[in-house]
Chains A and B, each alone.
Chain A
Amino acid sequence: MNAAAQHPLVRDYLKRLEKAAKDLPRARRKELVAEIEAHLSEALPPGASEAEALNVLERLGEPREIVAEAGPGQAPVRAGLNEWLAISLLLAGGFLFVVGWFVGVVLLWGSRVWTLRDKLIGTLVLPGGLATSAFLFMFVGSSTGSSGDGGCPATRVGLHGAKALNASNGCTSSGVDVDYLFLAFGGLLVVLPVLGAIYLGRRANRLETAMP
């Protein structure tokens, strides 16, 4: 960082600028902040007085005013059918021969509503969505069932079915601890993709409510 940016007034100003610009697309925000920083280092010699700094910042104008100028230039971005389809497919598209989830990912990354961070979260929590939950659920269910009970067939498919099936097959339960762990794990598996979808929905709505 250059000498001018070390001035406390300048540091405070740049902090306010970053905050005001947080909803701009990443590249635009970085460009704007870099330009303003360059401006400040040109306008303020190292060791500039408080009065000089105040004058330069006054001429620049309020960060909010500057960011407002950066706003209207972009095409209005709002959540539409595309975004809701993306969220639905990310959540449940995995059941559509797995391909559905990938279509959701393509829609997610193609949308201009979400930031890079949103897109990463949307993709990684949880890849495959509820279909992955269901798959892991069955997989874990069958493996704990067989490892814990020796000869029991891998029949655990769901929370409600597990005990009944075990009982009818004459198997004893593999233990309360495993069951609770299983429940917690299963719950997490269902909750994660749903939380992911809610997050994306809220992020998409944020722009709609921000519209005048």
Chain B
Amino acid sequence: MLRIVDQGTLSQLRRGVIEYCVLALLRDGERYGFELVRTLSEVPGMVTSEGTLYPLLSRLRRAGVVETSWRESTSGPPRRYYRLTASGRAVLEAFSGEWASFRDAVDHFLEQEKAA
């Protein structure tokens, strides 16, 4: 058993999956930037600094998996809403399947380790 969990490894893992978490948050409808960022950062262990999520959102938009539109808000300046594109939905579906088997595989070994 490792006494110290390598922070580098953890942040690599996080970086690898956070884009899909954003896509998953948009599965049921659009959300504005701040809402997305706060929803993600409220789950402990996923986001270390909220600001870095904005470049990530920009990357997703340029990759064509999300699209944005500005909408008036009742309580302040206009908000930029993010929503999944068809290709974003496909990417999310594919990842969900891959992730389930990946998670099971990791669990398989972790559980085995524990049992031994």
Contact = CB atoms under 8 A, between A and B. Distances in A.
Contacts, number: 63
Q: Which of B54, B56, B79 has the most CB of A within 10 A?
A: B54
Interface string A24-66: 0000100110011011011100000000000000011111011
Contacts of B79: 38, 42
Given A35-B80, A41-B76, A41-B77, A62 B49 contact: yes
Specify the main secondary structure of chain A where it touches its partner: helix
A108 to B, nearest CB: 24
B69 interface: no
Given A35-B57, A38-B79, A61 B52 contact: yes
Contact of B55 (A2, A38, A60, A70): A70
A60 to B, nearest CB: 4
Interface residues of B, number: 20
A35 B61 CA distance: 13
Contact of B54 (A36, A43, A59): A36
B55 A32 contact: yes
A60 B41 CA distance: 10
Specify the main secondary structure of chain B where it touches its partner: helix
Interface in B49-64: 49-52, 54-59, 62
Contact of B59 (A38, A43, A73): A73
A69 interface: yes
A31 B58 contact: yes
A61 B55 CA distance: 13
Interface string B15-56: 000000000000000000110010001000000111110111
A42 B55 contact: no
A7 to B, nearest CB: 15
B98 to A, nearest CB: 22
Contacts of A61: 48-52
Given A39-B34, A61-B49, A66 B77 contact: no
7 contacts: A28-B58, A35-B80, A38-B33, A42-B79, A60-B49, A61-B51, A73-B62
3 closest cross-chain pairs (CB), A and B: A61-B49, A70-B55, A66-B51
Given A39-B37, A73-B59, 17 more contacts: A2-B77, A35-B54, A38-B33, A38-B80, A39-B50, A41-B77, A42-B79, A60-B49, A61-B48, A61-B49, A61-B50, A62-B49, A63-B51, A65-B49, A66-B49, A67-B55, A69-B52
